[in-house]
Amino acid sequence: MAKQKDGITDLTKVLVSAAKKFSDSEYTRLTQVIFAMLHGVNYGYDQMDQRFLNDANDLKFIHNAQKEFKKIKTTKKKKFKDNIIYFSDYTRGSSTDDA
């Protein structure tokens, strides 16, 4: 399957994408979960409905927000010199037109 050119499914595409981005242990966990689901393990989702997709989207939103917050928090460096705070470092530029 790994070297075949025809018959590439969405499952194959997802596994290739995960293989590029996940660590070895994360990729192993992913493949074990998929394998278990193919063999009937339902992980608490008893019905085939929208609930799983909603939960997955919520997890993505929550964890992306946390990642973005950490990125913003670490990229904004405060500039201090002799106990002086430069307010220009913390203000947004304003428009100079009469509007």
Which amino acid makes up residue 34?
Answer: I
pLDDT, one tens digit per residue, over 2-44 is: 666 667 899 999 999 999 999 999 999 999 999 999 999 999 9
Q: What is the pTM of this model?
A: 0.59
DSSP H or E segment with residue 81: strand 80-81
Distance CA(38)–CA(1), nearest Å, equals 17
- Whole-angstrom Cα distance, residue 67 to residue 62? 9
| H or E element that contains 48 | none
- Domain regions of the chain by residue span: 10-48+55-89
Percent of the chain with pLDDT over 90: 49
Decide: 15 and 31 in contact? Cβ < 8 Å: yes
pLDDT, the chain, mean: 80
